[in-house]
Amino acid sequence: MCGRYNVIDDPHTQGLLDVLGISTRLETHYNIAPTEDVQVILIEDGIPRLRHMRWWLVPSWVKEPSTQYSMFNARAETLGSSRAFRGPFKHQRCIVPASSFIEWMVEEGHKIPYDIQPKDSAFAFAGLWDRWGKGAESFYSCAIITTDAVPAFRQIHNRQPVMLPYDALNRWLDPEIEGKDLTDLLQPMLPVDLEVFESDTEINSSRHKRPPEHLSESVLLKVG
């Protein structure tokens, strides 16, 4: 799963935006939690753009926004059958840029956070978006897609965000391509090596908005 992540305005995230021809810079935010405002990439007027959205997808057809159901992650295996996600999966896909994300392991009865980051690059998480409401009351929202973890990642969690390789970014965003033709991108994979750091438990609170303090040397999870 993916329930917290970080975004840093640095050469790695700028490199991701450069691939898509986006000149706007990302805003640095730490320990981003579901329902918060995030920046995502989608196609508008035929070109990739950054847009602020709520990280908790609200389907366009619901009467009013609600947090009754967990809608910040979408399972890759059920996108085509989910009432909430099957519509956006067809033509409303987005990319959620991230510098790292956080997962927890229970060790001796304690939740220990781990900061997971791509080596020498930025994450491009596969996402979905929707627009709820009309006029001044309308807003955009999104969800991050998750899939089964690759073997190297299962020591941390049995699920992982879908991490898009950079050569597939434009294909994923293209609204002319139906989601059913992109299922190859939803398979478990690590497009780049990952570095994993044990972090201070202060990050367990979503109110902690400072850079994660690493308490260990990195462990490298290699592609394949």
Percent of the residues in the chain that have a pLDDT greater than 90, as a whole number: 91
8 Å CB contact between 203 and 102:
yes
Distances (CA, A) of 107 to 111, 136, 199: 6, 47, 13
Name the pLDDT band for 108 (thresholds 50, 70, 90).
confident
The values of phi and psi at residue 89, to 5°, are -60, -30
Residue 224, pLDDT score:
65
Long-range contacts formed by 154-159: CB under 8 A, 24+ apart: 156/103, 156/105, 156/114, 156/116, 156/196, 157/1, 157/103, 157/105, 159/1
Report the chain's terminal Cα–Cα distance, integer Å: 20
pLDDT in tens, 135-163: 888 999 999 999 999 999 999 999 999 99
> For residue 68, how many other CB atoms are within 10 A of its CB?
5
The pLDDT of residue 1 is above 80: no
8 Å CB contact between 12 and 44:
no
DSSP assignments along 13-36, one per residue: HHHHHHHTT--SPPPPEEEE-TTS
pLDDT in tens, 85-98: 999 999 999 999 99
**Over residues 41-68, mean pLDDT:** 95
The pLDDT of residue 81 is above 80: yes
Residue 104, pLDDT score:
96
DSSP3 helix / strand / coil % (the chain, rounded to 5): 20, 40, 45
> For residue 18, how many other CB atoms are within 10 A of its CB?
11
Which domains are assigned to the chain?
Answer: 5-101+123-191 (3.90.1680.10)
Residue length of the chain: 224
The pLDDT of residue 134 is above 90: no
pLDDT in tens, 24-44: 999 999 999 999 999 999 999
Task: Give the SS3 label for residue 77.
Answer: helix
**Over residues 98-115, mean pLDDT:** 93
